[in-house]
Amino acid sequence: MDNADVAFAGIADQAGMLRDRVISSTELTELYLGRIRSIDPSLNAFADVFADEAKASAVEADRRIAAGESAPLLGVPIAIKDELDIAGQVARHGTVAYETPADADSEHVRRLRAAGGIVIGKTRLPELAITGFTESEFNGDTRNPWDVIRTPGGSSGGSAAAVAAGLVGAASASDGAGSIRIPAANCGLFGLKPQRGRISFMPEREHWYGLSKTGCLTRKVIDTALWLDVAAGPAPGDVHTPPPPDGTYVDAARRDPGRLRVAFSTSPVRALAPPIVDPVVVSVVHDVASVLEGSGHSVTEQTPDYGSVGNEIAPIYLRGIRQHYEQVPHPERLEPRTRGFARLGGLVPDRFLYGALRRMPEHEARINRIFEDVDVLITPVTGEPPVPVGKWAGQGAVRTAIGMSRSYPFTVVWNYTGQPAASIPAGLTEDGLPLGVMLIVAPNREELLLSVAAQLEGALAWPDRTPPIG
């Protein structure tokens, strides 16, 4: 196995290689540090690289492995989106408005480290994780390894670019309106937005009034399953505590899903402006539906009853941004567009916010009625292929919000309902740009989603595709 094969192997296979002494943690860590040095200047995926700390942790991991110790991620390098607390480091949230190092790891990071993961660095995001692209006046633009004039998406754009280019095997990500799934679609990755509360945000009890979920970006389904097995579960103080799964997520990813009832739809939720739905996006949804039908599943076209749910999302999204803005120690350092989003959030009355939150169960019940008749729903992830870097450069908050709602009209509804949804790679455009398709399941059914996604991975063989930069 050559260095590129190792770099793109994914964390599950890498953990096995380390256990079997095929490679040492020191060698694996040095491999990634070398790739980051040579490739990341073209991508700007990393905000920080902890070379010395990672190498020291790798030496310790090798000692533990030699002593017969075992842990799910022992000696495996991972990256963390620069929004989670890492002890002794400043969680900058994509800004220069923070300067105080964290006293302790966030719960998510603590669990990854407890499983033996080595934090090799922090990945970039847009300010306060607001936008579906990863661009910054202060930190520069993060670029897509499939085509550097294109965005990797956002807000987990740094994590997506790093994993897609083989700079790390997996990276943490979060999703408040599509910020795991959009970068996954743009970069040819698997990106699962878990059930609300599945992975703890502590020391935050929740984020954006429950719209946000935290998870990871990976190349393979089994890698996300392993990450979930390590990181999932409630922590004291969590607002949302979903029931645990039956068995492990890794077992679910290895299990045949059985014969399923599948629906597909290319109709978006009503947005702030007419949505963009490119024919190539419609085409790959039909392609994936055909693959599932060919695998023995029952497939029909059916659209959920979205109703007026679009009206409920904007108040929560904008007030969530405002809530985060009010916690920023130096808001005067934020970019004008970020402050514009915060001003918009300040204009949303309490009655609009709490009305939208109060009506959540009603909308969830109506939309999820589709899962009385089907097991899995397929839709597009984005309305168009990856857009150019700078598409919204120089635009204010209102024009940016309207533009994003047109390009990304499919994802945020499932943040409002809170249930699992994932982007799977579904092929390339004629120009070689990745396209994704979204799989949605009923609440708390990550195991089913992982199982059917793994079946599609076998049929579509997306891990075999790597970008030109990588």
Strands (E), 317-433: 376-380, 421-428
Q: Please report, for residues 22, 170, 368, 447, the alpha-carbon distance to residue 163 in angstroms, rounded to integers and kept in the order given.
A: 22, 6, 32, 23
Q: Is 81 known to be catalytic?
A: yes
Are 206 and 179 spatial neighbours (Cβ–Cβ below 8 Å)?
Answer: no
Q: Is 179 known to be catalytic?
A: yes
Are 125 and 161 spatial neighbours (Cβ–Cβ below 8 Å)?
Answer: no
Of the residues 81, 193, 213, 220, only one is catalytic, namely 81
Q: Please report, for residues 59, 133, 429, the alpha-carbon distance to residue 283 in angstroms, rounded to integers and kept in the order given.
A: 49, 24, 11
Of the residues 57, 136, 172, 179, only one is catalytic, namely 179
Of the residues 25, 57, 136, 155, only one is catalytic, namely 155
Nearest to 199 by CA among 106, 81, 91, 327: 106
Q: Is 55 known to be catalytic?
A: no
Q: How far apart are CA 52 and CA 59, in angstroms?
A: 11
Q: Please report, for residues 39, 145, 249, 422, the alpha-carbon distance to residue 466 in angstroms, rounded to integers and kept in the order given.
A: 14, 9, 26, 20
Cα angle value 222/224/229 (rounded, 5°): 95
Are 121 and 36 spatial neighbours (Cβ–Cβ below 8 Å)?
Answer: yes
Q: Please report, for residues 100, 160, 390, the alpha-carbon distance to residue 208 in angstroms, rounded to integers and kept in the order given.
A: 22, 22, 26
Helix axes 107-114, 221-231, angle to 10 degrees: 110
Q: What is the DSSP string of 4-36?
A: HHHHTS-HHHHHHHHHTTSS-HHHHHHHHHHHH
| Catalytic site positions | 81, 155, 179
